[in-house]
Amino acid sequence: MVKINQNYMKLPGSYLFSTIGRKVREYEEKNPDVKIIRLGIGDVTLPIVPSVIDALHMAVDEMGRKETFRGYAPDLGYEFLREKIAEYDYRARGCQISADEIFISDGAKCDCGNIQEIFSTDSRIAVCDPVYPVYVDSNVMAGRTGMYDPGQQRFERVIYMTCIGETGFLPEIPGEVPDLIYLCFPNNPTGAVMKKDRLQEWVDYANRHGSVILYDAAYESFISDEDIPHSIYECDGARSCAIEFRSFSKTAGFTGLRLGFTVIPRELKAEGVSLWDLWARRHGTKYNGAPYIIQRAGEAVYSEEGRKQIRKQVSWYMDNAKIISEGLKRAGYEVSGGVNAPYIWMKTPGSMTSWEFFDYLLEDIHVVGTPGSGFGPHGEGYFRLTAFGSREDTIEAMERIGK
Ligand SMILES: *Cc1c(COP(=O)(O)O)cnc(C)c1O
């Protein structure tokens, strides 16, 4: 009889967003006249910008003509897109990344989840706590962790790097040396950013110990401060220890279009084997690429008009973030994030747990956010609000909280 992958049974089940949904639904049923404002959304809400829409239309028409029709895309993605990425995302920032080190995909979530495949199942992983759950869960499924301890809310064999207020929600170098280090900056859920000298310490550490850093830069475009690196390759030596993930989802509103990429430098090796070769092999075997139409849309993000339009969207979201940050601070809350990231991370008042504060906000103020404890035990006592709501709702939510 067929057997299942028992590793899946180790997953405690993610009740975070389903519990939020249920609580909101139940409250709405009992109080149909109340207007609930949702500031828990981790998805963009503004429509795709005009220059990208134009590129989409053109690409669709090309697919309908014999002369311009395209079938399977090249394994790594179309050169026209990879060249633009190399130029604008890397060379313009002084990073030596070439187009053939860029692997186009349909998003960063699958790349972050799949990358573990090219590493040994006995690799030790290190993750932040609180954390974006994909990094841990994908390693659980692959059998790289032990059992889940419900008391500790942690998996055995995983190195957790606690991110607390005293350290600006940044991880400290762990005592035990990990093989794979997952870092995400600007961070989801805390909105924390890492300055270049700090990131350089991680790069030096990884090079010294033969670890690989898996760097999720999905929120890179929300950075406005000068001393915050947009890419890990801004650090010396990162080419020999780091893989970087990027996404068009938050940058250009592509959550529904689907486009992202992974960068693996040619000289990155483990046990003398090129990781580029392994990932290329995996790509070739298990993946057939992002759609031509969407890659053309991605190309338009780098046009002069496209870049202008996208910058405007990002700064619109960041105006929301500012309204939330300032509103919360005025109301006396302890707040971080929201400056170089679309996430605002706030301390719950007094000794309220994350879920108690959730209930209070829902029932008394009719605002919905995300309990920090859903991202890991060190998220307990915190709460995440996002800048992706409408301007109207964002302002009204802060007015309600102010009262
Ligand atoms: C939204 C997000 C991504 C992007 O995922 P896509 O699959 O590209 O939509 C990656 N990492 C983090 C931490 C995110 O929050």
Could you please report the per-residue DSSP string of 340-378? Answer: SSSEEEEEPSTT--HHHHHHHIIIII-EE-EEGGGG-GG
pLDDT at 403: 84
Ligand 1 centre and the CA of 363: distance in Å? 30
Scan for tokens 């010396």, then name that residue: 236
For ligand 1, atom 4, the nearest C-alpha belongs to 108
Question: Each residue's pLDDT tens digit in the chain (403 positions)?
Answer: 999 999 999 999 877 888 999 999 999 999 999 999 999 988 999 999 999 999 999 999 999 999 999 999 999 999 999 999 999 999 999 999 999 999 999 999 999 999 999 999 999 999 999 999 999 999 999 999 999 999 999 999 999 999 999 999 999 999 999 999 999 999 999 999 999 999 999 999 999 999 999 999 999 999 999 999 999 999 999 999 999 999 999 999 999 999 999 999 999 999 999 999 999 999 999 999 999 999 999 999 999 999 999 999 999 999 999 999 999 999 999 999 999 999 999 999 999 999 999 999 999 999 999 999 999 999 999 999 999 999 999 999 999 999 8
pLDDT at 50: 98
Closest ligand 1 atom, CA of 188?
13
pLDDT at 123: 98
What backbone torsions phi and psi does residue 269 show, to the nearest 5 degrees? -130, 155
Closest ligand 1 atom, CA of 107?
8
Beta pairing class for 367-368 and 343-347: unpaired
What residues pair up with 154 in beta bridges, in sequence order? Answer: 149
The rounded distance, in Å, linking the Cα atoms of 30 and 392 is: 25
Closest ligand 1 atom, CA of 184?
13
Ligand 1 centre and the CA of 215: distance in Å? 12
For ligand 1, atom 14, the nearest C-alpha belongs to 218
Scan for tokens 């070739």, then name that residue: 284
Ligand 1 centre and the CA of 216: distance in Å? 8
Give the residue, out of 216, 294, 317, with the most ligand 1 atoms within 8 A of its beta carbon, to mutate for a pocket test: 216
Closest ligand 1 atom, CA of 249?
9
DSSP letter, residue 47? P
Which residues form ligand 1's pocket by a CB distance below 6 Å? 107-109, 132, 184, 188, 216, 218, 247, 249-250, 255, 260
Ligand 1 centre and the CA of 292: distance in Å? 21
The rounded distance, in Å, linking the Cα atoms of 366 and 361 is: 6
| 111 touches 166 (CB < 8 A) | no
Structure tokens at 204: 């030096």
**Number of helices and strands (H, E) in the chain?**
12, 17
How does 200-209 read in b/e, with b if 16+ C-beta sit within 10 Å? bebbbbbbee
Give the residue, out of 132, 163, 254, with the most ligand 1 atoms within 8 A of its beta carbon, to mutate for a pocket test: 132
CA proximity to 128, closest of 70, 168, 76: 168
Structure tokens at 217: 């830069």
Ligand 1 centre and the CA of 2: distance in Å? 34
For ligand 1, atom 12, the nearest C-alpha belongs to 218
Read off the pTM: 0.97
pLDDT at 139: 98
Structure tokens at 115: 């990358």
Instruction: Say which amino acid occupies 384.
Output: R
Ligand 1 centre and the CA of 330: distance in Å? 31
Instruction: Say which amino acid occupies 363.
Output: E
Scan for tokens 């040396």, then name that residue: 177
73, burial (CB in 10 Å: exposed 0-12, middle 13-18, buried 19+): middle
Ligand 1 centre and the CA of 184: distance in Å? 10
Ligand 1 centre and the CA of 251: distance in Å? 10
CA proximity to 228, closest of 287, 259, 186: 186
Residue 21 to residues 41, 188, 301, 362: CA-CA distances in angstroms? 11, 20, 33, 12
Torsion (CA) 107, 112, 118, 119 in degrees, nearest 10: 180
Ligand 1 centre and the CA of 254: distance in Å? 10
Closest ligand 1 atom, CA of 250?
1
What residues pair up with 344 in beta bridges, in sequence order? Answer: 337, 385
Query: How big is the chain, counted in residues?
Result: 403
Structure tokens at 214: 């898996």
Ligand 1 centre and the CA of 246: distance in Å? 8
Residue 269 to residues 124, 141, 233, 272, 293: CA-CA distances in angstroms? 17, 25, 16, 6, 34
Residue 16 to residues 23, 133, 153, 369, 370: CA-CA distances in angstroms? 11, 11, 14, 11, 8
The rounded distance, in Å, linking the Cα atoms of 56 and 380 is: 43
How many C-beta neighbours within 10 Å does residue 100 have? 14
What backbone torsions phi and psi does residue 70 show, to the nearest 5 degrees? -125, 140
